[in-house]
Structure 1
Amino acid sequence: MPTSNNGNVDLTISDIGIATISFYHPAQNSLPAALLSNLAQKIEQAGTNSQTKVIILKSEGDRTFCAGASFDELLQIKDKEAGAVFFAGFAKVINACRKSPKIIIARIQGKAVGGGVGLAAAADYCLATEAAAIKLSELAIGIGPFVISPAVTRKIGLPAFSQLTIRAVDFQSAQWAMQKGLYNEVYADIATLDEALDTLAQKLASYHPEALKGLKEILWEGTENWDELLNQRAAISGELVLSAFTQQALNGFLKK
C-alpha cells in the first residue's frame, strides 16, 4: 500500500501491452487537483505509448474505489476562477479517457462516490465487486454532478441519472449499477474480480490493435464537443462551491 499523504498515480506496462494506471490517496482515494492532473497525464501517456494494447484503470486498497473530489481542497477555493480550474481537472480526466485510442477497463473494487462514478463512466468497460455501491452526493453539499453528468448519462440514461442525483444521500448497489449499464460485470469479491480482469485484459491485448482503435471511436461517437461542454460545466460547479450553503455543508461532512 502506498504511504504518501499527497497520494500518487502510477503507470506500468506489461510485456504483452497491458498498461495499468493505479491511483491512491489516503482519504478514501479522493482526488485533489494534483492527482487529477497526474491521472489525466498518465492516461494520455498510456494511450500514446506504442507498446500499450489495453489500459486498466484502478485504485489502491480494498475498500473505496474513489470518494470523488477532495473536500479539503474544495474548502480552499476562494474565487470562481480557481473553482473552475479545480473542476476542470475532472473534465481533463474524462476527456483523456474519451480521446485515448486504447480501450480502458475500470476495476471498481469498492464504493464510488461523485467523481468516482464519473471515472467509472469514463471507462469503456467496468468490472466491479458486490461492494462497489455508487452515490452522487453533490446535491447534498450544494453543487451538482455537472462535469461528470455527460459521461454518467451516456452510460446509464437520464432516468437512472435522475434517480442517482436526486437520491443524493443514498447508495445504489453494484447490482443496480450493472442493471443500469454503468458496470458490465459484478463479482462476489476482489479475488474473483481480479481473475476475470486479468483474463479479459489478456484477451483484449491479443486482438488487432486497429480493430480495438476503431471500436473505441465507435463507442465515443457524438462526444466531439466535450472539451468545451465539460469546461462549461466546470465553471458552473466552480461558482456554486463558493456559496455559504456549500461551505457549511463541506465543513459539516469533514467534522463527521
Structure 2
Amino acid sequence: MTATSNATYPPLNTLKRIAEHLWIVDGPIIRFGMPWPKMPFPTRMTIVRLAGSRLFIHSPTRLISELKAEIESIGEPRWIVGPNRLHYWSIPEWRAAFPEAFVFLAPGIREQAKDHLSFHGLPLEGSHSYEWDTELATLPVTGSYLTEVEFFHHASRTLILTDLIENFESGKLDSFAMRALTRLGGVQDPDGKMPRDLRLTFVRRRKELKSAIEKMIQWNPERIILAHGRWYEKDGVSELRRAFRWLLD
C-alpha cells in the first residue's frame, strides 16, 4: 500500500451507505496550506437523498464516470453545495455533468475561486427558505474570514460539517512534521477540534459561535460527518462537547 493510499479512506470515489438515504464518498488527497509545508488532506463528500429522490450533494469531490453512474442509480442531483470558501474545486465538473442541478455557494467562494468558477451560483447564507428545509436544517456559522454552512439531516440524525472539526489520524500522516503540526493545530485524532488558525476568525464572534454549537447539541446528532479525517459514527453530542470544550466550558 502506498503512502498516499494509506493516508486516505479506501475505497475511493464510490458510494458508501452509512444510513437510510445517506452516503459518503471518500475522495483523493489534496495538499493545502502555506507554500511549505502543505498538509495532505483526505477528502470526503456527503450525499443525502431527499423526497422525490432528489440528491443533496455536499462538498463534492472528484467525479469519475463510475461514480457518476452510481449517483444516477440512487437519484437525481438537485443541489450541489459548496459549504465554505475552501470547498469548491470540483463543483465545475459536477455542474457540467448535472446541468439541471442548482449550485449553492457559501460566502467567500467567488472571491476565493476567482476564474475557477465561470458562473455565480446561488447564495448560501441564511438558515431558512431552501427547498430542503423540511428534511435538512441549515446553519451558517459566520467568522471574520470564513463562513461555514452546516446541515442536519433530521431523519438519520446526522450532522454534516466541513472544516469546523478536523480529525487527522496520526497513522495516516506520512511524516513526523505532519504529525506534529496536526497535534499543535488541535486536529489530531482522537481529540480533533476546530483548527487553531480557524478559531482566529471567530475571535470577535465567540458568542455567535457558542450559540451555533449549542444549537447543534440541541439537534442531538447520532453521527457527525467531517470532510477531513476520521468522522464520528456514534456519540455525536459527546463529540461536540469534547471538540468545543474550549468554547463551552
Q: Same fold (TM over 0.5)?
A: no
How high is the TM-score relative to the length of structure 2? Answer: 0.29
How high is the TM-score relative to the length of structure 1? Answer: 0.28
Structure ranking higher in strand proportion: 2
